[in-house]
Amino acid sequence: MRLEQFGWNVAWEQAFAPFRRQDLIAGRVTRSGRGPCLVVTAAGEATAPVAGRLLREDEAPVAGDWVALRPDGSLIEAVLPRRSLFGRKEAGRRTREQPLAANVDVVFLVMGLDQDFQPRRLERYLVQAWESGARPVVVLNKLDVCTEPELRIREARRSAPGAPVFAMSALYDGDLRLLAEHVQTAETAALLGSSGVGKSTIVNRLLGFELQATRPVREHDGRGLHTTTHRELIHLEQGWLLVDTPGLRELQLWSEGEGLEQAFPEIEDLAGQCRFRDCAHQGEPGCAVTGVVDEARLAGYHKLLREVAASERRRDQAAASEEKRRLRAMHRSMRRIPRTKW
């Protein structure tokens, strides 16, 4: 099996050099979840558990990661530095990132042209997509059930400046060629979106057989049940790779602010024309943003800005708590060292 089919290139070969000197072999994670990972290597596929050290340090690999394994493929010893990472804040109270897909070149943000269509949610996805380092592409699926597709496309383009937007129906094979126009050979794309937007149908159509089960959405809100339960990297006959992920009920941002700037470029451009440098764009005198940017979009920007700021505060607090814990543990271990009599 040629790893070049899975995206291996000179840059990855250089990154892997220190591990090759340790007699480890290279592989790419094609399925991740609870338990061992499925990894493709030059020798074929292997089911490999993750070294306990990686688990303890929250460095477990996800679909798309390049890893270093023991020569017999029996254990994942290390994860290579990631070129891109799409993640979100882990659900619950813990303040840490939950990686969803790694080393992705293109993120297909799939939104249904039914009750699922929400411009504000699209903006949220775009912030995280830009933050990941991948190229976002907006896919409006279920064109066959939409009575006003041009209106929805215009709304999506207003919410996603700088990202390609197109509408399609996963039920028609001809429409699937629109996806391939945005991916180069050996590049990796990820499908991300809410449950019920048709991601599993897209995967099945691209493959030509049913890899993922599909279920109808609920009529009252257009939401679906999870049909994909794990993250999987799939090599397509078209020559590129696709990461399928479970539908996201919610996407809590994990951003340092760069993704927000790229998702709202018109606000960042106009902000330089405001009278005051610290203008909050909430009706201050001389504000160049208020009254120019659409009210709903500006409100969405402020909401996401508050969420990013709150996330940064939580991360700072978590980092401070971890440092205190580390120092306490170090002091306890030092007290256990017997004193030497001179």
Predicted local confidence at residue 42, as pLDDT? 94
**Within 10 Å of residue 67's Cβ, how many Cβ atoms?**
25
The average pLDDT across 222-251 equals 70
Same domain, 73 and 150: no
Predicted local confidence at residue 150, as pLDDT? 94
The full DSSP string for 229-263 is -SEEEEE-TTS-EEEE-PPPS-------SHHHHHH
Predicted local confidence at residue 194, as pLDDT? 84
- 249 within domain boundaries: no
- Per-residue pLDDT band for 256 (boundaries 50, 70, 90) equals low
**Within 10 Å of residue 287's Cβ, how many Cβ atoms?**
19
- 306 within domain boundaries: no
Strands 76-79 and 66-69: antiparallel
∠ CA 236-98-194, nearest 5°, is 60
Same domain, 98 and 62: no
Q: Give 46: exposed, middle or buried? Use CB within 10 Å, 0-12, 13-18, 19+.
A: buried
Same domain, 30 and 138: no
Residue 114 or 173, more confident? 114
Tens of pLDDT, residue by residue over 80-98, are 999 999 876 665 555 566 7
- 194 within domain boundaries: yes
The average pLDDT across 255-267 equals 85
C-alpha distances in angstroms, 148 versus 29, 117, 139, 151, 160?
41, 12, 16, 6, 19
Question: Quick check: 223 pLDDT over 60?
Answer: no
**10: CATH:** 2.40.50.140
Number of Cα atoms under 13 Å in the Cβ half of residue 51: 14
- Per-residue pLDDT band for 104 (boundaries 50, 70, 90) equals very high
User: Domain residues for 97?
Assistant: 85-244
Question: Quick check: 317 pLDDT over 70?
Answer: no
Tens of pLDDT, residue by residue over 269-316, are 999 999 998 999 998 999 999 999 999 999 999 999 988 887 777 665
- 313 within domain boundaries: no
Question: Quick check: 115 pLDDT over 90?
Answer: no
**What percentage of the chain exceeds 70 in pLDDT?**
78
